[in-house]
A and B are shown apart, each in its own frame.
Chain A
Amino acid sequence: MTALVTLPVLLPLLAAALSLMLTRFATIQRLLGLIVLLLIVLDAAWLLQVVDSEGPVVVQLGGHAAPFGITMIADRLAALLLLVSAVVTLSVLLFSIGQRITDYGRDTSSTAFHPMYLVLCSGVSLAYVSGDLFNLFVAFEIMLAASYVLITRRTTASRIRAGMTYVIVSLAASLLFITMIALVYAATGTVNLADLADKMGALPDGIQLGLSLLMLVVFGIKAAMVPLHFWLPDSYPTAPAPITAVFAGLLTKVGVYAMIRTQTLVFDHMESWTVLLVLGSLTMIVGALGAIAQDDINRLLSFLLVSHIGFMLFGLALFNELGMTGAILYVVHHIIVQASLFLACGLVTRHTGTVSVNGMSGVAKAYPLIAVLFALPALSLAGIPPFSGFIAKIALFQAGVQEATPIAYVATGAAILTSLLTLYAVGRVWVVSFWGEPSTPHPDPDPTDELIVGTRVTSRSMTTATGGLVAAGLLIIFVAGPLSGISERAATDLLDPSSYREVVLGDSAIAGGGE
């Protein structure tokens, strides 16, 4: 049973290794990736079922006991996100294989893409299941190293410039991260999250607050929290659509996950956290206003991504069960919706040849299927009932009102305002680009690079992948009951981490807790 936790990390690594050796056999390489990611989807679904009925599954790697060995643990939150991420990575891989076959033919393969993409998947899985802070750092590094390659692969000078921003900011964040781990270790003598939970409480309040803020900054950079979001709208939109989709869908959410995990497990926040509430509200408003000002549709979506990170921060900052439930629901909803929006945009730009909202028109008339694939996630993002965004948002609004402090009311107001601004932003895209008479496609500004637009060719697998992801987003509506049940139980686990500690540390947790 414990293999369920480790396989999502090791299988993609194995597949990456094999695809490095099989660069000459394009078809095998593609099948390998698809099969492995499909296996992970099944694995994660099974894991979620097991974890939900029997409690967290823990693996002590190599059998070395907890505070000293490496712990991997899947609780409800980790298993749920593992499942959602696996669905997204599988769809994006299908999309990108379809795109490659359409553009370059069936026989050419890429040396870097498949191995690096699978390494990225492995890093994402590891981030969810790692039970100690250093391993979390390793997971981030695996993920980032792969993403550096993916974002700057086969590219032009202007995109390298944008990629540089991404690389430098990420490296700076990693530097802060490792410094933070060193400080935590110096203060407590452990990096195991469960053990930290015991020992952090013994430290003076000032040190606790300092470490907590440092973690907030580190993961805030990864999650693109305002004012640490500046790098995101510059770098993400420059990559090809599938890469942007997986980055936007997953990488920022892994940052949010790390934030949720560390702030609930390691630190003991009893009531809502004003700093994070303010930052969350700022993130929502700044992102939404930024989105309205954009003409480039990918940049617009990137700003919306930033803005909606704010919702998750808002849910986390309340530190009550309803808020946490809302945050988890929001992460699940947003991973799928943001990824499908970027994929749909990839389809749109392939037909129109431009990313400028004002430069295209009549997409709905010319390509009704693509228009639907864009409209459904866009409405969901804005929170129109009955889509998944509505379910997640209503949980957050309720949580904010339930908290009933002035700052919580302000944050709730900001969230409602942001939903309206989001609706305005995507509505403007719809009116300007999708309505009206179809325009002639613009030629590809740079036909040599990886970013191929305006060919008017999309293969069936690209549409299927996008459609599948949109359908997964719609599925949330129908499983909303069980999903919010799981999210609620996950939130309860998060707010009362004693079961997490016990399952990792065994009986020593009770003995050590009294110090």
Chain B
Amino acid sequence: MKANPESDPQPNSESNSEFNLHEEMWNDWDVPRDQLLAGEYAGGVWKRSLLLESAARIVFPTVLVFSIYLLIAGHYDAGGGFSGGLVAGLAFVVRYVAGGRGELATILRIRPLVVVGMGLTIAVVVALAPLLVGGEVLATTTFDVPLPVIGDVKIATSLGLDLGVYLLIVGVVLDLLRTLGAGIELQAPGDRTSKREGA
């Protein structure tokens, strides 16, 4: 999951698709990267809103950081993998609502189901891991990790399970956006965007 649009190549519009790669780079090096706003190509079925789109982009990293805070804080405070995952999912929902599936495609290179699979794998492996050291399934221990600046941090092994749940929820939300959002958008009349999705 890359959150930085800088690394995205400029998607081809019809006029410059006939250029070869070299020429394209030569011509495009000073074209503004769509850091705060998607370019003209990212048309959707609905009218675009400048305010909403740029606000979504500004808010996006903050919400992701907050979701990671929730994930880590979950062991002692309110939070946890599930709520963290939902908040992270909401970050993607905001981006989708603001910019449509084109916007979602710029931040996401990985298939949602793979994210779900990764989350579930991590969760099950963490659940099974104690068997290797002779404990019960799902048993947890706590490690004291001395970190510079912050000091001693207690990390429970159940954080791994939470991480798995986090990824699973993010994957599910992304898959919902893909099937119920982008999938429907693709079939909607009046959508002239290029069909870039391989899913």
Contacts and interface: CB of A to CB of B under 8 A. Distances in A.
Contacts of A2: 136-137
Interface in A3-24: 3, 6, 10, 13-14, 16-21, 23
Interface in A82-126: 111, 115
Contacts, number: 54
B121 A17 contact: yes
Contacts of A20: 113-114, 116-117, 120
Instruction: Kindly state the interface size class of chain A when it binds its partner.
Output: 20 to 34
B116 A10 contact: no
A244 B28 CA distance: 57
B124 A59 contact: no
A61 B138 contact: yes
Contacts of A59: 136-137
A6 B127 CA distance: 10
A63 B121 contact: no
Interface string B128-149: 1001000111111000000000
Given A3-B131, A14-B121, A63 B136 contact: yes
Contacts of B119: 17
A17 B124 contact: yes
B136 A21 contact: no
A111 B128 contact: no
B128 A10 contact: yes
Given A10-B124, A14-B124, A14-B125, A21 B139 contact: no
Contacts of B140: 62
Nearest to A3: B131
B185 to A, nearest CB: 20
Contacts of A6: 137
B132 to A, nearest CB: 10
Interface string B64-99: 000000000000000000000000000000000000
A10 B114 contact: no
Nearest to B120: A17
Nearest to B130: A62
B105 interface: no
Contact of B117 (A3, A21, A61): A21
A294 interface: no
Nearest to A111: B113
B151 to A, nearest CB: 28
Nearest to B125: A14
A6 B130 CA distance: 12
Nearest to A115: B117
B136 A13 contact: no
Residue among A2, A16, A18, A20 with most chain B CB within 10 A: A20
A18 B120 CA distance: 8
10 cross-chain pairs, A with B, having the tightest CB-CB distances, nearest first: A20-B117, A17-B120, A21-B117, A17-B121, A62-B138, A14-B124, A6-B137, A61-B138, A17-B117, A63-B136
Interface of B: 113-114, 116-121, 124-125, 127-128, 131, 135-140
Given A13-B124, A21-B121, A61-B137, 6 more contacts: A10-B127, A18-B117, A20-B113, A21-B118, A62-B140, A63-B139
